[in-house]
Amino acid sequence: MKILFMGTPDFALFSLRALAATEHEIVGVVTQPDKPKGRGYTLTPPPVKVFALEMGFPVYQPNTLRDEEFDTLLRQLDPDVIVVVAYGKILPKSVLDYPKYGCINVHGSLLPEYRGAAPMQRAIIDGKPETGITTMYMADGIDTGDMLLKETVAIEENDNFEDIHDKLGECGGALIVKTIDGIERGLIPRVAQDDSLATHAAKITKEDCLVDFSKDAKAVHDLIRGLSPIPLSFTHTADGKLLKIIAAEIAEREGVCGKAGEVVSLEDGITVACGTGSVRILKVLPEGKSRMAAADFVRGRKISLGDILA
């Protein structure tokens, strides 16, 4: 199979590495243009580009897929299938319709649940016990195409976004190889999605990241881990300073430990009362500071018993 791969961030790397280890031919890699990063705004290539160049794959970084230049490139490469993993742009119909075996997407949820931009984070935030990978044919809608293969991945109680990202990345890499082999042999049936069961995983906004301690301890813990290590949930100390939360654990699941947001213990971290139960904050990113253990933040006398985080 001649494969054109389209992807950009670290999550896409898992699939590209897996496909690169097969006998299929990677005829090209399409990724987003380099972007300025860091304090010095250094022009930085996306992870997929770095790996592709190391492997000697041709790399293309078009500003648009909707012009004759990209249509010409597509005809020159003439892929049998296009694999798309977190590319970052909507594919026009001219691209979707080109390859013999279609455009196959690796999506980080068990579709039709969690269509959209942030399926991994939303599954954790919602307290789901499991999520997974779905490979699917791409269609005009957002994650609405016919499904091919699925595989379930457990979400453990203290898994954060990074943990699930990497678990699903590994799963996606293995599943896309099975998918490509299966469709080449005509062994995988198309399964239409039941739109009545669809849910939407909206992009994470700043408003999503504010911790609401009036919720129960599990919901607060799920939010914190679902947004770690990026973009991070946050609250404010009694003096109004921003305090981002990197890691926490459930201290008490039930009962009323104090007012919602009240600091009720400074032993082994910062224990904060929730609407029901409490959470123990373990790692923080204080305003204007570096990431640190919550115990170090306490030793710096930046927080006291009875303070309200809000």
161-198: per-residue pLDDT in tens? 999 999 999 999 999 999 999 999 999 999 999 999 99
Q: What is the pLDDT at residue 107?
A: 98
Token pair 């006291």 in the structure block, residue? 304
User: Do residues 170 and 151 make contact, with C-beta atoms less than 8 angstroms apart?
Assistant: no
Token digits of residue 121: 């984070």
Domains of the chain: 2-201 (3.40.50.170), 206-299 (3.10.25.10)
* pLDDT grade for 135, boundaries at 50, 70 and 90: very high
Cα–Cα distance for residue pair 95/77, rounded to 1 Å:
12
In this structure, the chain runs to a length of: 310
Q: What is the pLDDT at residue 156?
A: 97
Helices and strands, number each (H, E), in the chain: 9, 17
pLDDT above 80: residue 149: yes
**What pTM value is reported for the model?**
0.95
pLDDT above 90: residue 26: yes
pLDDT above 90: residue 300: no
Give the tens place of pLDDT for each residue, 41-85.
Answer: 889 999 999 999 999 999 999 999 999 999 999 999 999 999 999
State residue 294 phi and psi, 5-degree precision: -60, -35
pLDDT above 80: residue 39: no
Q: What is the pLDDT at residue 298?
A: 94
Share of the chain above pLDDT 90, in %: 95
pLDDT above 90: residue 283: yes
* pLDDT grade for 109, boundaries at 50, 70 and 90: very high
∠ at Cα 164 (177, 176), nearest 5°?
10
Q: Kindly report the average pLDDT of the chain as a whole number.
A: 96
As a whole number, mean pLDDT of residues 33-39 equals 88
Whether the ω angle into residue 229 lies within 30 degrees of 0, i.e. cis, is: yes
More confident residue, 300 or 115: 115
pLDDT above 80: residue 93: yes
Q: What is the pLDDT at residue 49?
A: 98
Strands (E), 144-241: 147-154, 200-201, 233-236
pLDDT above 80: residue 142: yes
Q: What is the pLDDT at residue 302?
A: 80
* pLDDT grade for 213, boundaries at 50, 70 and 90: very high
User: Do residues 222 and 124 make contact, with C-beta atoms less than 8 angstroms apart?
Assistant: yes
Terminal-to-terminal C-alpha distance of the chain: 55
State residue 47 phi and psi, 5-degree precision: -55, -40
